[in-house]
Amino acid sequence: MTCRSTPSHTRYSRLPILTQRTVLQSESTSETPIVIKKRLSTSFHHTNFTLKKPEVSFATPLSDEAKYICFTSEIQKYESRFELSSRKCHFQQIGLLFLLTFLAKLLPMNVFFRNCLAGLSILFAVFFGSSCQPDASNGQPLADTTMLNVSYGNHPRQVYDLYLPAARSSSTPTVVLIHGGAWQAGQKEEMNNWVGLIKNQWPQAAILNVNYRLANAQKGIHHAEITNDISQALSQYHVRRNEYRVSGKVGLMGASAGGHLAMLQAYTQNQQGQIQCVSNLFGPSILNDWSWYNSNNPWLGGYVGDVIALYAGATWDTTLYKSISPYSRVAVGSVPTILFHGSLDPIVPLYQSQWMHGRLNQMGIPTAFHEYPAFHSFDANQSADVCQKTVAFFKAHFN
């Protein structure tokens, strides 16, 4: 299935129900406070536990058992409107059932109190069950879903592509892809090859492929604006994690300038713990590297310093450049990091990844470094190996 906007849900999609496999439906009746006649034959299931309500006919005055039957039949009217709850919520739901049933036995069961308790059941569901999101729609496994160009801001480049796997659940992890292009070029479609590789290596994972605004002096877009874009995309995705049926936990994977942005995001913008690990593909780690900054690079069409200055928003500034260098921003407790680099890279010096790996080891941060006989990219076989190693590293360090 492919769609281009956020899938819609019913107005009741956030309200959990008391059962996992059965939708309860009440029969239409003309019941009064004097005589109530109802057939109840529904079961509440949880593993090996089953609670059945028999066929009952009674009249005022109501016995304790009649109060229970009357009250649970009222709950049925509300349950039939909502979709099925997640398996993870069963204990919470059954506890809610018994709590409300206990209240039903204590209070006089006239129409007023029945209506109050029915409303109370919904109130409890909202406040205590809002975290319970169904892992399937109408009892069916969720389908593989692709959502292209989902907006996370007002700028045309503030969009992402989302690939949601079939049978996903609230424990589904996500790999976030960040494209390169010297911070001033490139687009998310350049990472589509990695989308296919990750799908093959880790079909259970969701994939978020992010665009961001590009560095531009005339438009005032520099480091802060680009960082804010990635933060905003991740924040929106985290807010919508229940809607997308994923865990919200992510691993970042970036190439070239995207690798730099991925590491910087993981080390400086992870206050909520959403980012679990990061994979850097031949991205720079040290922007305050004078020898590199002062070099003329034909692959970039000029001095490296001009490219860095456009991204940073200022020419050489040791303090500023250190503040936007992953090598300087990594700290004890930062997320696990895996690095990949070509030994013949003519754009980003190999030694930057080697030094970064050494610093991570020095700080006791789980890390791995892999070097390939390659330039500033990897061939098909190398890319497949990079993906396999990244996925294995992510699986080992996702919480």
Q: Are 111 and 147 members of one domain?
A: no
Residue 93, domain member (yes or no): yes
Whether 335 contacts 270, CB under 8 Å: yes
Residue 265, domain member (yes or no): yes
Q: Are 155 and 124 members of one domain?
A: no
Q: Are 181 and 53 members of one domain?
A: no
Q: Are 94 and 221 members of one domain?
A: no
Residue 11, domain member (yes or no): no
Whether 142 contacts 7, CB under 8 Å: no
* Residue ending a domain, choose from 78, 99, 129: 129
Q: Are 124 and 155 members of one domain?
A: no
**CA 173 vs CA 35, 53, 105, 223: distances in Å:** 54, 40, 44, 28
Residue 78, domain member (yes or no): yes
Tokens representing residue 140 in the block: 């069916």
Q: Are 47 and 89 members of one domain?
A: yes
Residue 389, domain CATH: 3.40.50.1820
- Nearest partner of 103 among 76, 127, 83, 121, judged by Cα: 121
Residue 20, domain member (yes or no): no
Residue 16, domain member (yes or no): no
> Is 198 exposed, middle or buried (CB count within 10 Å of its CB: 0-12, 13-18, 19+)?
buried
Q: Are 290 and 385 members of one domain?
A: yes
Q: Are 202 and 123 members of one domain?
A: no
Q: Are 117 and 205 members of one domain?
A: no
Report the number of distinct structural domains present in the chain: 2
* Residue ending a domain, choose from 104, 129, 154: 129
Per-residue model confidence (pLDDT) at position 138: 58
Q: Are 110 and 192 members of one domain?
A: no
> What does the DSSP 8-state code read for residue 217?
T
- Nearest partner of 252 among 236, 264, 235, 239, judged by Cα: 264
70, HSE (Cβ side, Cα atoms, 13 Å): 31
Residue 28, domain member (yes or no): no
Q: Are 164 and 55 members of one domain?
A: no
* Residue ending a domain, choose from 60, 94, 129: 129
> In 111-135, which positions are buried (b, 16+ CB within 10 angstroms) versus exposed (e)?
eebbeebbeebbebbeebbeebbbb
Q: Are 78 and 189 members of one domain?
A: no
Q: Is 104 helix (H, G, I), strand (E, B) or coil?
A: helix
Per-residue model confidence (pLDDT) at position 141: 79
- Would you write out the chain's pLDDT as a tens digit for each of its 399 residues? 444 443 333 333 333 322 232 222 333 333 333 232 333 233 333 333 333 333 333 333 444 444 433 444 443 433 333 333 444 444 555 565 556 555 555 555 555 555 555 555 555 554 444 444 445 555 677 999 999 999 999 999 999 999 999 999 999 999 999 999 999 999 999 999 999 999 999 999 999 999 999 999 999 999 999 999 999 999 999 999 999 999 999 999 999 999 999 999 999 999 999 999 999 999 999 999 999 999 999 999 999 999 999 999 999 999 999 999 999 999 999 999 999 999 999 999 999 999 999 999 999 999 999 999 999 999 999 999 999 999 999 999 998
Whether 296 contacts 303, CB under 8 Å: yes
Residue with tokens 């009357």: 70
Which residues does 212 contact at the CB level (< 8 Å), separation at least 6? Answer: 157, 158, 178, 226, 229, 230, 233, 261
Per-residue model confidence (pLDDT) at position 98: 55
Residue 239, domain member (yes or no): yes
Per the structure, the complete domain to which residue 179 belongs is given by: 143-397
